[in-house]
Structure 1
Amino acid sequence: MAGEIAPTPALSDALVILGAAGIVIPVFTRFRITPVIGFILIGLAVGPFGLGKLVYEYPWLGHVTISDPEGLEPFAEFGIILLLFSIGLELSFNRLWQLRKLVFGLGALELLIIGSCLAIALSMMGQYWTGAIGLGLALALSSTAIVLPIAGTHSPVGRAALAMLLFEDIAIVPIIFMLGAMAPNAQAEGWEGLVDTLWQGGLVVVALLVIGRIALPRLFAQAARTKSPELFLAASLLVVIGASLATAVVGLSPIVGALIAGLLIAETEYHGEIETIMEPFKGLALGVFLITVGMSIDLTTIWDNLGPIALAVVLVLSFKALVTGVLLRLMGARRGTAAETGVLMASPSETTLIVLTAASSALLIQPGTAQFWQIVTAIGLTITPILAKLGRAIARRVDGVPDVSPEPDGEARVIIVGAGRVGRLVAEMLKVHGKRYIALDSDSDLIARAKREGYYAIFADAARRDTLQRLDLGNALALVLTMDEPVLAQRLVAKVRKQYPDLLIVARARDSIHAAELYRAGASHAVPETLESSLQLSEAVLADIGVAMGPVIASIHEKRDELREQIQKDGALERKPKLRTGSVEAT
C-alpha cells in the first residue's frame, strides 16, 4: 500500500529485546530463577545461530530475530558501564580504601597465579608462548556483570569477589596493551602507548575527582529543587557518560570512569535517589549484554566439538575455583566463604571476549583457537548462576550448616536478621512470650551456635535479593535488624519499606546519628546502642542510691520517649525533598 512505512531493522530489534524482557523477567522471577539464564537463552534463540538461520527460508522470522547483532554491542557496553556505576554508588572512598589490600593483594595474586598457570598448561599443549599468555590472562578473568548482581557487595562472598573483580577491571587496559606489544609486527609503540595512557589516565582521574567533588553536589542540589525526575535522570546520565568518555578518550576503559562517577555521587546525599532512578536502565542494558552472549553460542559448532569443549569448560572452571578458594583460605577467609567465592568466580568474563579479540587481532592466536575459547567463555557465562547455587550448597556442606530454605506456612512470625548476641536475645524474649520467629545470618559459626542453644536459625544472606522474598515478609509480624552493619541495615530498611509500607521494622543503630538515618530510610523504630546503655546506667545508679524503683522506671521511659522523638525529628528535618514519582528511597 502506498505510503505504508515498514519497520526499520533497528526498531524491529528493539521490539524483540523489549518483548524478551517482558517475558523473561516475570516468568523467571515467578519460578525464582535468575533472569540471567533467560536472557542468554533468548539470545541463543533469536540470534544468528538460532532462528536467524531460518530467516531466508521463512522471512516472517525476521520480525522475531535480531537482524543486526553488531548494532547491539554499544548497548551491551553501556550495560556494563551502568553496572560499574551502580557498584560505585554502593561503595565510598572510605570503603574502597579499606578494600585496597584485598584489591591489590588478593586480586593481583588471583589474576597472576591463574593466568600464569593456564599459560604454562596451554604452552605445554603446543600453543606458542605469546598466545598462551594471552589465553591464560583472558581465561583468568571473571564476570563483573554476572557475579556481582548475584553476590552483592556487602556479604563476605560479595566483598571478596568485588576486590578481585575491581583489580581485573583495572588490569584489562595493561593486558590489552601488552598483547599489542607482543604482536609479531609490533615495535616499541605498544609499550610507549601504555606509558602515555597511564600518565594521561592519571591526570584525567585526578581531574574527575577534583571537579566531581566541587560540581556534583551543586548539580544534584539544583536538580532536586526542581522536583523533576526527568532532570534528575538527565543529570545522572550526563555524569556517568561524561566520566566514561573522559577515561575512554585517553585509552583507559570507560568502566573506570563509570566507577569513579559512582564513587563521587556516593559521597553526596543524593546517591539513594540516583540509584533508584538508574536501576531499571541498568537492568535492561545488562539484559541486552546477556542477549549478545547468547547470540554468540553456535550449537552446531558445540555439537561438532562437544568433547573438547566440555573438557575445556570443566578443567578451566575447576582450576580457577580451586586456586581462588585456596588463596582466600590462606588469607583468612572461612572455609565456606572460600569455597563459595571460588566456585562463583570460576567462570570466564565478558572481558575475556575482548582480550581474545585483542590476541587474535595481534596474531598471537589463530582465528579457530579464538572461536573455540569464545564458545567456552559463552558457556561459562551461561552457567554462572548454576555455579552460584552450587557454591552456596558446597559452602553449607563445608561449614556443616544444613541447606534450609524457609517456606511460607501462612502463619505470622517475626523475622530476625542477625543471629549474634543481640539477635539471640531478641529471639529469647520472643520465645518467652510465645511468639513465632525465624533468625537468619550469613555467618555459619553464629548459626551453629544459635542452633546448639535451641534457637530456630537458618543460614541465609539478607544482602541477597532473593533471600527476603523467600521469607514471606508480607505476612510477617515484624522485621528486626540486629546486625552491626550500618550501611547494610539502612539499605535493607529502605528496600523493605518500599515493598512493604505497613510492615513493622525495628533496627539496631550504633548511635543517634545512625538512628536518624534509619528513620529517614523508613524504620518504625531505631534503637541506638549508646542511648540504651546510657539509660541502663542511669537506672542502675538511681536505684542503688536509694531512689524508688517506680519513679526510676517512669523517668527512664519518659527520657527514652523524649530522646527517640528528638531523633525522629532530626531525621525528618534532614530529609531531602522527594521527587514527584515517589521512587527516591535508597534501595
Structure 2
Amino acid sequence: MMQAILFLAAALIFVPLAVRLGLGSVLGYLVAGVAIGPVGLGLVNDPQALLHVSELGVVLMLFVIGLELEPKRLWEMRGAVFGGGTLQMLACAAALFPVGLLVGWTWQASLIGALALALSSTAIVVALMQERNLMAAPVGRSGFSMLLYQDIAAIPLLALAAVLGTAAPAAETAGHAHQGPLWQVAAVAAVVVLGRYVAYPVMRFVARMQVRELFTGFALLLVLGVAALMEHVGLSMGLGAFLAGVLLASSEYRHALETDILPFKGLLLGLFFIAVGMSMDLGLLASSPVQVVLGLVAVVGLKLVALWGLAPWVGLRGRDKALLAVLLSQVGEFAFVVLSAAKVSGALPEAQANLLTLIAALSMVSTPLLLMVFDRWCRQSTQEREADAIEDEHPPVIVAGFGRYGQTVCRLLLAAGVKPTVIDHDADTVDSARRFGFKVYFGDATQPDLLHAAGIHHAKAMVVAVDDSAQCNRLVEVLQHEFAHVQIVARARDALHAMELAELNVPHVEREVFESSLRSGRSTLEALGMDRAQAKQMADNFRRYSLDFLRKAQAERHNEEDLIVRVRQAREQFEREMQADQERQARHDGKAGWHSPSSASSS
C-alpha cells in the first residue's frame, strides 16, 4: 500500500511539472522513478520486481496499437508508413550501427542497440506536433507515418533481441521443452481462429448483459490470456497482445475495448516508465560522464543528420526537413522495452544496456531544447531574409496570410475577377505557394513601408488572415493608425480573439471555424430527421445568441471569474430560449402545415 502511495505521489508531483515545462509526461515518469529509486531517496529498492509487473503496461499499449491498425486503414497508408518508415529505421540504424563497432562492441550488441535507438518517442512527438498544429501539415503526416511504422517494427525488434541473445537459463528451457516453431505457429493460428470465432460471440454475449465491469474484465482477460499463451510457447507477450488488437480492429466493440483498456494502459505504462527511471544507472554520469555525454551527442547528432538527409525522399523541403529531423531526433519510449529485453537475453551486456538506457532517457530532454533552437533559427533567418519587391498594381484588396484561411479567401476573390496582392511572413509558405503557381510575396505586413510598396493607398480592403493572434492585432492597429481608409476584414482564432478585435473596432470579424461548425451542426440535425428549414432556423438562432453573448461578455473579458459566471449563465439562458423557440416553431408549423406528415411525426 505504501509503495502504491509513493508511486502515485511521485507521478502527481513530477509528471505535471515536466508537462508544464514542455518536456512531456514520459520524462516526468522517468524523473519520478529516479527520485524515489535507489539512486534518489531510496524509498523503493527493488526496481526489477516492479519492472516485471509493470511490463503489463507495454502489453496493453501494444493491444491498443493493434486496435488502431485496422487492416484496411493500414493498407491505405501503406506507402507513407512502410515506405517512409522503413527508410527512417534503415537510415538511423545505419548511421548508429558503426558507432558500436568502433567502440569495440559485438556486432549483435551494435545491431540491437542501433535499431533500438533508431526508434522515436510517439508520446513526445505527437504531443509536440499537436501543440504546433502540425498533424495535418506535410511534416506532421510524414512524422506520424514513421512513428506508426516504428510501433509495428517494435514487435519484431523484441523477437530479434531474443534471437541475438545468448542467455537461456536451464530452468526456463526445461519448463518449456515443448516450445518450437510448430508450437509457435500453432499458437498464432489458435489466436486467429479463437479471436474470430470465439471472442466475437462471447463479446456480444457479455455486451448484451449491459454490465460494464464484466465487459472490462473480459477485455483484460482476453488481452492477458493471449499474451500468456504467446509467452508460454516462447514468443513475446507484446506480440500476442498486438495480434489480438489487430484481430479486433474491425470489431464493432473496438471503441468500447479501447475505452476500457486505456485507463489501465496509462497507469501501468506510467508505472513502467517509473520502474525504468528507478533502474537507470545515474552513477554513470559520475563515473563515466564523458562516455555518457559523447554518446548522447552522437546518438542525437547522427539521427538529426540521417533524418535531414532522408526528408527529401518523403517529399519535404526547406525548413520542414530540419523540423522533421528535430522532432524525431530523440530515442523513443519503446527503446526501453527493447533494451531491457536485450539485456535479459544477453544480446546486450548489462553495462552497455544501462548506458544506452540512460542516453535514451536524456535524449528525450534534448528535443524540446532543440525545438527552441530551431524556432530561434527560424526567426533569425526570417529576419535576415529581405522582403520581396512588390509590384504596385493598384490592388483593390491586400491579403495578409496565405494559410488555409487566406487561400480560401484568395480563391474566391480570383473566381470573382478580383486580383489581390498576397503577403506572408513565413518563407516556407511563400516558396511552397510559388511552386504551385500562386503569386505570394514574402514580408512582414505589420511594416508600413511594405504596405506602401504593396499599394495600400489604392486598396479598398485588407484581409487579415495571419495565424498569430498578437500579430493580427498589431496589424489591425497599424492599419487603423496609418491607413484609416482601408476596410478591415479580420480572422479571429476564437471567441476571446473576436472580443479583442471588437475592442479594436474592427467592423468585419469572422471566427475561423464558427460558420463551418454551424453547418456541420445543421447537417447533423438533418441526419437525425429534423426538417431542413427547422435545422436552419436552429442554426440561425444559435448564431444570433452567440453574437449577442460576445457583445454582452465584452466587459467581463479581462476578469476570468466574472467571464466564467457569464458563460454559465448564458449557456443556461441560451438552452432555455432555444428550447422555447423550438416549441414555438413546432406550434407554428403545426398550424401552418409547414412539415410533411412524415417529417412532422419524426420531429
TM-score range, shorter chain: 0.5 to 0.7
8 Å Cα contact 2:57/2:267 also seen in 1:
yes
Checking the alignment, whether the CA contact within 8 Å between 1:103 and 1:166 is kept in structure 2 is no
Q: CA deviation at 1:365?
A: 5.7
What residue number does 2:310 align with? 327
Aligned CA distance change for structure 1 residues 516 and 279 (closer, same or farther; 3 Å): farther
Q: Percent identity?
A: 30
Instruction: Tell me what 2:44 maps to.
Output: 66
Conservation of the 8 A alpha-carbon contact between 2:84 and 2:146:
no
Decide which of 86, 100, 110 is 2:78's aligned counterpart: 100
Q: Residues of 1 paired with 2:320 and 2:111: CA distance?
A: 30
- Cα deviation code 1:247-281 (max 9, x no counterpart): 33333332233233333333233333333333322
Return the alpha-carbon distance in structure 2 between the equivalents of residues 281 and 41 of structure 1. 21
1:190-227 alpha-carbon deviations (Å, 9 max, x no partner): xxx9x955x75555445434433444443343333333
CA distance in 2, matches of 1:482, 1:447: 28
Partner of residue 248 from structure 2, selected from 259, 265, 270: 265
**SS of corresponding position for 2:467:** strand
Cα distance between partner residues in 2 of 1:505 and 1:285: 40
Query: Which one-letter code corresponds to 2:325 in the other structure?
Result: G
**AA aligned opposite 2:4:** A
Check conservation: 1:104, 1:167, Cα contact below 8 A: no
Tell me which residue corresponds to 1:247: 230
**Structure 1 residue 118 corresponds to structure 2 residue 75:** no
Q: CA deviation at 1:41?
A: 1.6
Equivalence for 2:5: 15
2:33 pairs with one of 21, 25, 43: 43
Please give the residue correspondences for 1:149-548 in structure 2 after superposition, counting only pairs within 5 Å: 155-180=140-165, 197=181, 201=184, 203-333=186-316, 335=318, 338-353=321-336, 355-356=338-339, 367-383=350-366, 389=371, 393=375, 419=404, 454-458=463-467, 480=513, 506-507=519-520
CA distance in 2 between partners of 1:161 and 1:174 (Å): 20
Q: Per the alignment, do residues 43 and 169 of structure 1 end up closer, same or farther by CA in structure 2, a change over 3 Å counting?
A: same
Asked whether the equivalents of residues 49 and 299 of structure 1 are also in contact (C-alpha less than 8 Å), the reply is yes
What amino acid is the match of 2:465?
Answer: Y
SS in 2 for 1:266: coil
Q: Is the 8 A contact 2:85 2:147 kept in 1?
A: no
| Distance in 1 (alpha carbons) for counterparts of 2:381 and 2:233 | 47
Q: How far off is 1:69 after superposition?
A: 1.2
Instruction: Give the direction of change, closer, same or farther, for the CA distance of 1:365–1:458 in structure 2 (3 Å limit).
Output: same
**What secondary structure sits across from 1:20 in the alignment?**
helix
Q: Which runs of 5+ in 1 are unaligned?
A: 1-10, 53-64, 402-417, 429-442, 461-470, 484-503, 526-560, 573-587
SS at match of 2:165: helix
Distance 1:244 1:130, change over 3 A: closer
Name the larger-Rg structure: 2
- How well do the aligned residues superpose, as a CA RMSD in angstroms? 5.1
Aligned-partner residue type, residue 456 of structure 1: A
State the alpha-carbon separation in 1 of the partners of residues 335 and 158 from structure 2. 12
Number of equivalences: 439
Q: Contact 2:62–2:242 (CA<8 Å) still a contact in 1?
A: yes
Distance 1:351 1:156, change over 3 A: closer
Please give the alpha-carbon distance, in whole angstroms, between the structure 2 residues aligned to 1:115 and 1:363: 20
Aligned AA (1:109): L
Q: Answer yes or no: is the 8 Å Cα contact 2:336–2:357 preserved in 1.
A: yes
TM-score normalized with structure 2 length: 0.58
- Letter paired with 2:88: E
After TM superposition, give the deviation of residue 349 of structure 1 in Å. Answer: 3.8
CA distance in 1 between partners of 2:28 and 2:295 (Å): 24
- Counterpart in the other structure of 2:57: 79
Any conservation in 1 of the 2:54–2:272 contact (CA below 8 Å)? yes
TM-score, scaled to structure 1: 0.60
Q: Deviations over 1:339-392 (max 9, x none)?
A: 4443333223445445545655676665443433332223224555656x5598
Distance 1:481 1:232, change over 3 A: farther
User: Aligned equivalents of 2:525 and 2:198: distance in 1?
Assistant: 27
Q: What's the CA shift string for 1:481-534, capped at 9, x where partnerless?
A: 999xxxxxxxxxxxxxxxxxxxx765499xx999959x9xxxx99xxxxxxxxx
